[in-house]
Amino acid sequence: MEERQFLDFYTKHKIIPVAQEINQNHLSRRQYLYRTLGLNQYNNDSKIKILEIGPGTGDNAVATNKIFNSQITFIDGNQSSINAINQKIKNGILPIDTKIINYDFLDFSSKNILEDSKFHLVICEGTIPGQNKPKLFADKVLQFVAPDGRAVFTCADVFSLLPELLRRLWRPHLIKLEFKEAIKKGIEIFEPHLKNLPEMSRSYEDWVADQVLNTWAKRGWEFSVSDAIETAQKNDMFYLGSSPSFVEDWIWYKEALNTPNYYNQLALNEWENKKIFLLDKRLHPISKYDLREFNIIEFSNILNKIGNFVSDVTCDDDYEYSEKDFKYLDELISILIQIIQKSELSLFLEDTLKSIISFKRYWKNIYEGVNNKDEEDFQKWWGRGTVYLSFEKSRLIT
């Protein structure tokens, strides 16, 4: 039987490693996110129906309910998640009309939802990347969107998660330990890294469990922005907004075409020109460079090979590193460094290059299982991680 990504791991360890502290900062962050995604256009005089797939502890939904006049339905197959949400309803943190469907989403059919009962807003956050078949999962999500509805996806790929993937290379050592001991050891290793994320809103324990010990990174785990746009286009939905905001549109509105294809192609073109800036959260797009003029195919190929290596060695609980593994990744990192140094990429990847060189030294420590806290340039390197995208059903005014 094929492993159910996230769900089996969470159920096995009875965890929900996505908890957020509900405070004013949390509420303000979510309000900013929804505004950036173009979701601040609802009329609060009437309730909108919202579906959240994989809600975790329901902490984000608390903010959603405060921002929108809404009736929220959850779908989740993790009993620990269901218990946490029920407790919030019991304590009055979530409203009494909140609905819970205790079901594995992959086994739940949109046919169980009447056409006139579909949802104005469907949110699937932190769930699609890492699935066994991410694009099929996303396509199913969109079947629950009402004819005038919107959807929010989160996307991630090797461009946005490269430094996090490299940190996963500790997994073959950590997974041999008892689970709680692995968490403790992981915190000891990664605390100097995580301190470079002062606005991080979940616990170190949850981060280690979810990002390092979980098996989500099998080959095929990626769900990129281009994958999301392709899935939306197929379902007659068009790009609405994103976080980070990467679309610039300087066209005169009278010359624009109000079609899904126009919006989606605009977003796709902008994404292709800016996706390299996801490699490092310290980077910001530089308008004078058009990355489409750079030949980054070789660069992308090396990233994909690194990603595949991480998948192969970090999703097998019995994996033991060999000298061949060490030499293979060391060579790939060396090639990556050379590509940057010999091209115009070095003009804006200066800090990133320092971090990659630092990782090249650190890889020997990971391979040998030695915790070296001296590689500060690597510790500072974090990708932009998750990209949020929103889409809207195509509606023509007549």
Among the listed residues 389, 138, 135, the one whose alpha carbon sits nearest the alpha carbon of residue 275: 389
Q: What is the pLDDT of residue 63?
A: 94
**Mean pLDDT, range 351-378, rounded to an integer:** 95
List the domain boundaries for the chain.
Answer: 7-157+220-244+386-393, 159-215+287-379
Phi, psi of 7 (to 5 degrees): -60, -45
Q: Which CATH architecture group holds 7-157+220-244+386-393?
A: 3-Layer(aba) Sandwich (3.40)
Of the given ranges (144-148, 206-210, 287-291, 382-386), which has the lowest mean pLDDT?
Answer: 287-291
Average pLDDT, the chain: 91
Q: What is the pLDDT of residue 261?
A: 83
Report CA-CA distances (Å) from 252 to 36, 83, 255, 347. Answer: 22, 51, 6, 33
Where is mean pLDDT largest: 21-30, 179-188, 258-267?
Answer: 179-188
Q: What is the pLDDT of residue 292?
A: 54
Contacts (Cβ under 8 Å, ≥6 apart) of 369: 173
Proportion of the chain above pLDDT 90, given as a percent: 73
CB–CB of 389/225 below 8 Å? yes
Q: Is the pLDDT of residue 369 over 60?
A: yes
Q: Is the pLDDT of residue 106 over 90?
A: no
CB–CB of 135/64 below 8 Å? no
pLDDT band at residue 217 under the 50/70/90 scheme: confident
**Residue 358, token pair as written in the block:** 């630092």
Q: What is the DSSP string of 140-185?
A: HHHTTEEEEEEEEEEEB-HHHHHHHHHHGGGHHHHTTS-HHHHHHH
pLDDT greater at residue 59 or residue 344: 59
C-alpha–C-alpha distance, residues 129 and 118, integer Å: 24
Report CA-CA distances (Å) from 65 to 94, 214, 277. Answer: 8, 30, 33
Q: What is the pLDDT of residue 297?
A: 82
CB–CB of 39/121 below 8 Å? yes
What is the number of other CB atoms lying within 10 angstroms of the CB of residue 89?
Answer: 16
CA angle 360, 364, 370 (to 5 degrees): 130
pLDDT greater at residue 295 or residue 143: 143
Q: What is the pLDDT of residue 259?
A: 74
**Residue 223, token pair as written in the block:** 């769900």
Q: How confident is the model over 78-96, as pLDDT tens digits?
A: 999 999 999 999 999 999 9
Q: What is the pLDDT of residue 294?
A: 60
Q: How confident is the model over 379-395, as pLDDT tens digits?
A: 999 999 999 999 999 77
Half-sphere exposure of 124 (CA within 13 A, CB side): 29
pLDDT greater at residue 195 or residue 260: 195
Q: How confident is the model over 152-174, as pLDDT tens digits?
A: 999 999 999 999 999 999 999 99
C-alpha–C-alpha distance, residues 91 and 58, integer Å: 13
Q: How confident is the model over 277-326, as pLDDT tens digits?
A: 999 999 987 655 555 556 678 899 999 999 999 999 999 999 999 999 99
Of all helices (H) and strands (E), which one includes residue 349?
none
Sheet with 387-393, strands from edge to edge, namely 99-102, 70-76, 48-53, 119-124, 145-155, 387-393, 237-243
CB–CB of 352/279 below 8 Å? yes
Omega before residue 192 within 30° of 0, cis: no
**Mean pLDDT, range 235-244, rounded to an integer:** 94
